[in-house]
Amino acid sequence: MTEEKGLIKGPWSWTTDDIKLLKKLYPHGNIKMIAERLCRPLTAVRQKAYDMGMKTNVYRYWTEEDLKLLVRLYPNMNTEQLAKRLDRSEGSIKTKALQLRLRKNQRYLKSIQSRPRKRRKK
């Protein structure tokens, strides 16, 4: 293995085996699992993949059926439940709703104001 000039070496350095595993698994998209296997932060895995010009093959395009369902259900449905129903992340739902200029219904918003808020994970 040839060492590149100017690189800092240490326990955080990427080994050849780490890079092989990253190249093998990253295109399939489960970045959280890759980070756990490599004992590295999620951001470090994403940054290394970005630096290497890697991309995932996992992007799911929105179908017309998905969009119609989103437009119909988003105003009156909890985003978490909607994400499960459409098998997408909450972030994906929120981003697409923003792009389509969808808003939650005022009656729905008033109904959830009286419920206790869900606590964020620390």
CA distances from 35 to 20, 27, 29, 90, 119 (A): 14, 14, 11, 21, 25
Residue 6 lies in a domain: no
Does the predicted TM-score (pTM) go above 0.75? no
pLDDT over threshold 60, residue 4: no
Query: How many residues are recorded in the chain?
Result: 122
Q: Give the residue among 84, 107, 85, 103 at the shortest CA–CA distance from 94.
A: 103
Looking at the fold, whether 68 and 46 belong to one and the same domain comes out as no
Question: Final residue of a domain: which of 6, 24, 51?
Answer: 51
Domain residue limits at 42? 16-51
Instruction: Report the pLDDT averaged over residues 48-59.
Output: 86
Looking at the fold, whether 71 and 109 belong to one and the same domain comes out as yes
Say how far apart CA 98 and CA 121 lie, in whole Å. 25
pLDDT over threshold 80, residue 29: no
Looking at the fold, whether 93 and 71 belong to one and the same domain comes out as yes
